[in-house]
Amino acid sequence: MEKMIKLGIDARGISENSGGVKQFIDSFIDSLIKVIPSNFELIIFYNSNNYLYSNKKYKGVKINCKSKLLYDYVYLPYKANKMKLDWIILPKTNCPYLLNAKKIIIVHDLLYFNKNLIEFSLINNMYERFSIKRSILNANIIVTVSNFTKNELLKYFKCLSFKKIYTIYEAPDPKYNVTIDNKNILKEFNINGNYIFYPGSLSPRKNIIRVLNAFLNLNGKIKQKLVFTAGKSWKDSEIIRLLENKNLKDRVIKLGHVNDDIMPYLYKYSDLCIYPSLYEGFGLPILEAQACGCPVITSNLSSCPEIASDGAHIINPYSVEDIKDGIIKILNDVKYKENLIKKGFDNVSKFSWIKTAMEYINLIKKYEQ
């Protein structure tokens, strides 16, 4: 008879309005409950009023605490220890000392350690660096979402043993395998005619300024408008000013926050997706676009080329000229565009949330032997 294993998941990130970690937790839990072995008891800890976890396959434990610090370092350890867990998965890269269970932390990126891309306030940056460092050293297993992030981890933490670090990829949500036509959705956003889709935020590392400058250089040369979904972000004042340029104002459609169910159609009907990020830990929009049959332009930096493989047009994200030339190449070369779409489908087929969930299960089984 197989040993019973009590596995906990910290799902605090599900209470956030949007973001990569929220998406990760949502998709990961949905897949995990489909493949969880009979000798695993799954317990989900969360604090959101919008999610009431309850199922025969798992138990939901709601922690009524709005403070992130108190949740992470007081209530979560108290509740988890009370449940006598064997393992706990921590997707937010926080690893409380008081947890008795063996701990798997997930490192999505190490942007806080990158001195060339200042994305956060000094106090926030210092706190997160301290918290991540302490959590990494306290974890039993570290999972990174790309080999790039794994190498970053080994670069910043030379004392770490590579033997306790594993790369397990994320995947696009199955809803991005769009088979139904619903072009009327575009009318709801006043999108008429051809467009290029930018699915990133306005934060400096997402590189929207160079995308806008490339678009300025293409004024009168292409018919496509630029559509993007980003809302307000850190250090976005220069972007807001640029959007007021007379040669951009009528050629850019800013949608703001869009429901996740709408996103697949924005990819599907666009002429291309542009995602020339300066830094990514994974780069999920690349796979989302590929799954929708949308050709992708992305960066040659960080994890982007690793995730895109040969299913994207790779550019130097610091070169406005490179971005502009990539747009023209895809729009004007039909065979090249069709080949990119085919290679994109081939690439994205290698990624699956079921596969991801099984890799976590098998990792725990390996350590339990």
**Topology at the third CATH level for domain 174-348:** Rossmann fold (3.40.50)
Segment 54-60 mean pLDDT? 74
* Tokens 């830094």 found at: 279
- Return the pLDDT at 235: 63
- Return the pLDDT at 355: 97
DSSP secondary structure string, 252-295? EEE--S--TTTHHHHHHTSSEEEE--S--SS-HHHHHHHHTT--
Give tens-digit pLDDT for 190-212.
Answer: 898 999 999 988 888 899 999 99
Which of 41-50, 113-122, 358-367 has maximum average pLDDT? Answer: 358-367
Q: What is the DSSP letter of 74?
A: I
DSSP H stretches of helix in 104-230: 122-138, 147-156, 184-188, 208-217
Instruction: Return phi, psi of residue 131, to 5°.
Output: -65, -45
Give the Å distances, CA to CA, from 352 to 199, 288, 291, 347, 363: 21, 12, 11, 11, 17
Give tens-digit pLDDT for 123-137.
Answer: 888 888 888 999 998
* Tokens 């079921």 found at: 354
- Return the pLDDT at 220: 87
Give tens-digit pLDDT for 233-246.
Answer: 556 677 878 888 87
As annotated, the residues of the chain forming the CATH 3.40.50.2000 domain(s) are 5-171+352-368, 174-348
Residue 163 pLDDT grade (very low, low, confident, very high; cuts 50, 70, 90): confident
Coarse DSSP helix, strand, coil percentages of the chain, rounded to the nearest 5 percent: 45, 15, 40
In angstroms, the CA 31 to CA 143 distance is 17
* Tokens representing residue 66 in the block: 């709005």
In angstroms, the CA 284 to CA 58 distance is 27
The burial class, CB within 10 Å (0-12 / 13-18 / 19+), for 268 is: buried
Segment 210-234 mean pLDDT? 87
- Return the pLDDT at 115: 83
Residue 295 pLDDT grade (very low, low, confident, very high; cuts 50, 70, 90): very high
* Tokens representing residue 272 in the block: 């291309």
- Return the pLDDT at 76: 95
* Tokens representing residue 194 in the block: 């051809």
In angstroms, the CA 277 to CA 171 distance is 18
| CATH architecture group of domain 5-171+352-368 | 3-Layer(aba) Sandwich (3.40)
Segment 297-317 mean pLDDT? 98
> Which has more confidence, 61 or 290?
290
- Pseudo-torsion of CA 249, 20, 207, 226, nearest 10°? -30
Contact in structure between 268 and 292 (CB atoms under 8 Å)? yes
